[in-house]
Amino acid sequence: MLDEPLVRSAIERAPDTWRSAGAISAETGIPLDRVTAVLTGSLSDIIVAPGGHDGACDLYSTRTHYRKTKSLLERYLDVLDSP
């Protein structure tokens, strides 16, 4: 699928750890339903933000980008916060 590298690249170059599917769609020009399909199905290293808020949209990152943008302590606290 040609959309996978674009989705991954939009996440990897973001200054923040987490990106919404809508933000990735807006940046890449890929329709939201295709971005969502890539994020939920075909990329094995995609992670969803822990401790999501009710009614809020899911936020995504790659494992590599997450490790680059979060300290060891922050990653540990995220593990404690996850269900």
For residue 32, give the nearest of 14, 64, 63, 58 by alpha carbon.
Answer: 58
pLDDT of the chain, 83 residues: tens digit per residue: 688 999 999 999 999 999 999 999 999 999 999 999 999 886 688 988 865 556 578 899 999 999 999 999 988 887 887 76
Between CA 25 and CA 53 the distance in angstroms is 21
**This prediction's pTM:** 0.80
Cβ count within 10 A of residue 49:
20
Residue 1 has a pLDDT of: 62
